[in-house]
Structure 1
Amino acid sequence: MNPFSFERAETIAGAVSALAQHDKARFIAGGTNLLDLMKENVSRPGHLIDITRLPLGKIEENPDGGLRIGALVTNSEAAYDERIQRRYPLLSQAILAGASAQLRNMATTGGNLLQRTRCYYFYDTATPCNKRAPGTGCGALEGFNRIHAILGTSDKCIATHPSDMCVALAALGAAVRVTGPDGERTLPFSDFHRLPGDTPELDTNLRPDELITAVDLPAKGFARHCAYLKVRDRQSYAFALVSVAAALELEGGHIQEARLALGGVAHKPWRDPGAEAMLSGKAATVENFRSAAEAIVRDAKGFGHNTFKIELAKRTVVRALAQAAGMEQPS
Structure 2
Amino acid sequence: MATPTPLTTPSTPPHRVVVLALDGVYLFDLGIPERVFGGVHYAGVLGAYEVVSCAATGDRTVTTSTGLTLTLDHGPEALESADTVILPPYDLSRFTADLPEPVRSALAHIRPDARIVSLCTGAFTLAAAGLLDGRPATTHWALADEFRRLFPQVALDPAVLFVDDGDVLTSAGVASGVDVCLHLVRRDHGSAVANQVARQCVVPPWREGGQAQFIIQPMPKERNEGTGATRAWALERLDRSLALRELAAHARMSPRTFSRRFQEETGTSPGRWLTQQRLNQARHLLETTDLTVDRIAAEVGFATANSLRQHLHTAIGVTPQAYRTTFRGRSEKPGEERAPRQ
TM over 0.5: no
Larger Rg: 2
The normalised TM-score by structure 1 is 0.30
The normalised TM-score by structure 2 is 0.29
Query: Which structure carries more helix by proportion?
Result: 2
Query: Which structure carries more strand by proportion?
Result: 1
